[in-house]
C-alpha cells in the first residue's frame, strides 16, 4: 500500500528533525554498529543537513499529506562529494545515493521507494549513466528495495568500514 507523499529538497529547518530520524533509524538496525561504537558516524548522521552544502548534492525529504516527515535521502550528482570509501568517489558520469532513512511509522507505504526513485529521476535528468549506492547486511529492507528497482550488486564498489562490510550497487541508466 502506498500513501500520498511529497518529495522535495529539504529546508534548513528540516535538517535537525531529519538528522534525529536518521540517527534513530540506523541505531535501531539489528547488527549495525551503535552510536557508542561509531560516534563519528552518528555525528555525521545527526548533521545530515551539512550534505546540502556539497556541490551537486541535494538532501531530499518525503512528507505525508498530513505534513509528517516520512524520511529522507542524500543525492549526489558529483561522486567526488559522495564521501564513502572505496572506488565510488572516482566514478565519473555517475550519481550517488546515501543515507536513506524512513520513519518506522511510514515503512511499507512507499516512502523509501519514492525517495530512491526521485534520486534516479534526478540522475537521468542530469544525464548520468548510472546511480551508485552502498548498503550493509543490516539494511535488508533497503537492500531488497534497491534490487526491486533494478540495482545490481557491484563487488568492485565494496569496502570495509571499521570492521563492517559495505556492499556496492549500481543501476545503469539507459
- Cα 96 from Cα 112, distance rounded (Å): 15
- Please report how the helices 111-125 and 140-148 are oriented relative to each other, as an axis angle in degrees rounded to 10: 50
User: Whose CA is closest to 97, among 73, 114, 125, 62?
Assistant: 73
Q: Is the pLDDT of residue 2 over 60?
A: no
Assigned domain for 13 exists: yes
Q: Which helix (H) or strand (E) holds 101?
A: strand 94-102
Assigned domain for 56 exists: yes
Q: How crowded is residue 53: how many other Cβ atoms within 10 Å of its Cβ?
A: 9
Which three cell numbers mark 65?
499529506
pLDDT of residue 146: 94
What's the length of the chain? 174
Assigned domain for 148 exists: no
Assigned domain for 53 exists: yes
pLDDT digits (tens, 9 = 90+) for 5-41: 999 999 999 999 999 999 999 999 898 889 999 999 9
Q: What domain range is 124 assigned to?
A: 5-128
pLDDT digits (tens, 9 = 90+) for 77-100: 988 888 776 666 667 899 999 999
pTM of this prediction?
A: 0.92
Tell me how far CA of residue 36 lies from CA of 40, 42, 43, 72, 84, in angstroms.
9, 9, 11, 23, 21
Assigned domain for 115 exists: yes
Assigned domain for 149 exists: no
Q: Is residue 56 within 8 Å of residue 77, measured between CB atoms?
A: yes
Assigned domain for 79 exists: yes
Task: State the burial class of residue 125 (Cβ atoms within 10 Å of its Cβ: 0-12, 13-18, 19+).
Answer: exposed
- Please report how the helices 12-27 and 39-46 are oriented relative to each other, as an axis angle in degrees rounded to 10: 140
User: Whose CA is closest to 25, among 100, 111, 136?
Assistant: 100
pLDDT of residue 141: 85
CATH number at residue 114: 3.40.630.30
Question: How wide is the angle at C-alpha 96 spanned by C-alphas 94 and 101, nearest 5°?
Answer: 165
Assigned domain for 124 exists: yes
pLDDT digits (tens, 9 = 90+) for 132-158: 999 888 888 888 999 999 999 999 988
User: Into how many domains does the chain fold?
Assistant: 1
Amino acid at each position: 500500500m502506498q500513501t500520498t507523499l511529497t518529495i522535495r529538497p529539504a529546508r534548513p529547518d528540516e535538517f535537525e528533525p531529519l538528522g534525529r530520524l536518521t540517527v534513530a533509524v540506523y541505531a535501531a538496525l539489528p547488527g549495525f554498529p551503535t552510536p557508542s561504537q561509531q560516534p563519528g558516524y552518528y555525528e555525521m548522521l545527526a548533521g545530515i543537513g551539512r550534505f546540502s552544502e556539497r556541490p551537486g548534492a541535494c538532501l531530499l525529504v518525503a512528507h505525508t499529506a498530513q505534513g509528517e516527515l516520512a524520511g529522507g535521502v542524500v543525492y549526489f550528482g558529483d561522486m567526488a562529494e559522495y564521501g564513502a570509501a572505496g572506488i565510488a568517489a572516482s566514478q565519473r558520469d555517475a550519481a550517488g545515493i546515501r543515507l536513506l532513512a524512513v520513519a518506522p511509522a511510514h515503512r511499507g507505504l512507499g516512502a523509501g521507494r519514492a525517495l530512491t526513485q526521485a534520486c534516479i529521476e534526478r540522475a537521468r535528468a542530469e544525464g548520468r549513466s548510472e546511480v551508485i549506492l552502498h548498503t550493509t547486511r543490516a539494511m535488508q529492507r533497503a537492500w531488497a528495495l534497491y534490487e526491486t528497482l533494478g540495482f545490481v550488486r557491484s563487488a568492485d564498489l565494496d569496502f570495509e568500514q571499521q570492521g563492517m562490510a559495505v556492499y556496492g550497487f549500481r543501476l545503469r541508466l539507459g
